[in-house]
Amino acid sequence: MKYSLGAFVGFIIFTILVDFLLHRLIHQNAKKRIGHFAFPFGTFWFYSIPTLYIIGFTTIFASIKASQSALIYVIFQWLLVSYLLIYVPKFVYYLAYKVTHRAIKVKNKFSSDGKIKKMNEGRYPSISRKKFLSQVGIVMASLPFVSLLFGVMKGRFNFSKRYTKLSFPNLPEAFDGLKIVQISDLHLGSLNSNYEEMEEAVKLINDEYPDLICFTGDLVNNFYEETIGWEKVFSKLNARIGKFSVLGNHDYGDYSKWDSQEEKKENLNNIKLAHKRLGFNLLNNQSQVLESNGDKLLVTGVENWGHPPFPQYGDLKKATEGTNGVPFKLLLSHDPDHWDAEVTKQFDHDLTLAGHTHGMQFGIEFKNFQWSPAKYKFRRWAGLYNEGNQYLYVNRGLGYLGMPARVGMPPEITIIELTRGTISNEPM
């Protein structure tokens, strides 16, 4: 979890500004209705709540780097979601009120008689402008509140299967019809012992009878302790050929200040061992050749490679030494930026699987349309992409980080079927 000073300052400014503007709006309306001293008692409640949030986030900001406990991430995520449930509706209410008020003034200005006609003309009961504006604000503010609440209660475990069928002329005949299930970004510390919910995800995966299961990084938020107890869930994953994994940027412990490099190294080593405990074959800048009936397919995994501030530990050249003779190559690389920066320019991997973006855990997807704030940060943020004959699939993540919710961007289980034939590829 990248907790920058700039984001923290922006949070304080946003919090104070929203409360100031909304308090002023309510005070002005109350003043017009019942007098000058109509709303002084509300000042305490308006400014004590943001003060508590600012103190809470300041405490986390000051201690998160030094913390040696995964609990701080759990505290942060529930503090954040409670904040969003209060302040996003407040902000939307204010905007809706002011925009609607402005629209009415414009309509009034250009109306034939210079006045807004009463909204109750005829058989309908009268409604004042203030009440109408308030109701518009409440309706608009309820939308993000309900959406976020649903994302917390249901959305974060509303697992979605996404099917893609890819055809390649160079796929060996023995691997025609190979079924790959990809998962990514578990962030076990954030899941906070929700074993039963994740067992449902494991069942959904096993129901596909995959040949390969590929996990593309971010097993934890920061600490190996987050993995304890999860072997009873993920060791139940079944794949006919094998289960492979790589590390993500969160798996290196880079988001904490350690007492010594030895302590940090031990944390990383224990996380690597956890992959084995959970049943995965961790590929750290390594390749493994799969053979069937004399045909070969290469599975390569690299350590995290991303643009700063994300680390570049991945070494694809080292990982693929001596593999030139294999006709089809599958790459696991956590950060999709790696694909554009290095994979497509210097290597010949047919299919790359990545994660990292989470789809920002928020977005809109309808038929062929998809949007998320992630698109403004990542060039490749969700789904299938291609450059020439090379393909990239970006998984939206199975877990969550920061915000314990998913709104319009459900946790993803990707099912990819590889077939031998002319390239003609698109999501199913």
245 and 166 belong to one structural domain: yes
234 and 132 belong to one structural domain: no
Mean pLDDT in residue range 278-286: 97
270 and 375 belong to one structural domain: yes
Q: Between β-strands 178-183 and 212-215, what pairing exists: parallel, antiparallel or unpaired?
A: parallel
Whole-number pLDDT of residue 116: 45
Q: What is the pLDDT of residues 161-192, one digit of tens each?
A: 999 999 999 999 999 999 999 999 999 999 98
34 and 69 belong to one structural domain: yes
Q: Are 109 and 176 in contact (CB under 8 A)?
A: no
Residue 101 token pair: 């008020």
Whole-number pLDDT of residue 47: 61
Q: What is the pLDDT of residues 313-324, one digit of tens each?
A: 999 999 999 998
Whole-number pLDDT of residue 265: 96
Whole-number pLDDT of residue 401: 95
Q: What is the pLDDT of residues 195-214, one digit of tens each?
A: 999 999 999 999 999 999 99
Does position 41 have pLDDT exceeding 50, yes or no?
A: no
More confident residue, 245 or 116: 245
Q: What is the pLDDT of residues 128-140, one digit of tens each?
A: 666 777 788 788 8
Does position 420 have pLDDT exceeding 90, yes or no?
A: yes
Q: Which of 109, 133, 153 finishes a domain? A: 153
Residue 365 token pair: 């997807």
Whole-number pLDDT of residue 37: 46
Q: How many CB atoms lie within 10 A of CB 189?
A: 26
Whole-number pLDDT of residue 68: 79
Does position 53 have pLDDT exceeding 80, yes or no?
A: yes
DSSP state of 343: I
Domain that holds residue 86: 5-153
Whole-number pLDDT of residue 413: 98
Average pLDDT in the chain:
88
Residue 204 token pair: 């959904």
| Span of 109-123, 242-256, 345-359 with lowest mean pLDDT | 109-123
The rounded distance, in Å, linking the Cα atoms of 77 and 87 is 15
DSSP state of 125: P
402 and 284 belong to one structural domain: yes
Using alpha carbons, list the distances in angstroms from residue 255 to 58, 66, 219, 249: 17, 9, 14, 9
Mean pLDDT in residue range 46-61: 80
Whole-number pLDDT of residue 38: 47
Minimal CA–CA distance to 398: which of 215, 164, 242? 215
Question: If pLDDT is split at 50, 70 and 90, which confidence band does 114 have?
Answer: very low
The rounded distance, in Å, linking the Cα atoms of 162 and 384 is 11
Whole-number pLDDT of residue 344: 96
54 and 98 belong to one structural domain: yes
Question: If pLDDT is split at 50, 70 and 90, which confidence band does 216 have?
Answer: very high
Whole-number pLDDT of residue 45: 54
Mean pLDDT in residue range 15-26: 84
166 and 47 belong to one structural domain: no
Q: What is the pLDDT of residues 364-381, one digit of tens each?
A: 998 888 999 999 999 999
Task: Look at the pTM and tell me if it is higher than 0.75.
Answer: yes
Question: If pLDDT is split at 50, 70 and 90, which confidence band does 426 have?
Answer: low
Listing from the earlier edge strand, what are the strands of the sheet with 412-420? 281-282, 242-245, 212-215, 178-183, 412-420, 160-168, 426-427
146 and 170 belong to one structural domain: no
Tally of structural domains, the chain:
2
Whole-number pLDDT of residue 115: 47
146 and 204 belong to one structural domain: no
Q: Which of 124, 153, 182 finishes a domain? A: 153
Q: Are 155 and 399 in contact (CB under 8 A)?
A: no
Q: Which of 153, 184, 206 finishes a domain? A: 153
Mean pLDDT in residue range 238-246: 98
The rounded distance, in Å, linking the Cα atoms of 280 and 205 is 15
Mean pLDDT in residue range 66-88: 89
Does position 303 have pLDDT exceeding 80, yes or no?
A: yes
251 and 302 belong to one structural domain: yes
173 and 307 belong to one structural domain: yes
The rounded distance, in Å, linking the Cα atoms of 204 and 272 is 25
Q: How many CB atoms lie within 10 A of CB 301?
A: 30
More confident residue, 28 or 80: 80
Q: Between β-strands 295-301 and 329-332, what pairing exists: parallel, antiparallel or unpaired?
A: parallel
351 and 392 belong to one structural domain: yes
CATH number for position 197 = 3.60.21.10
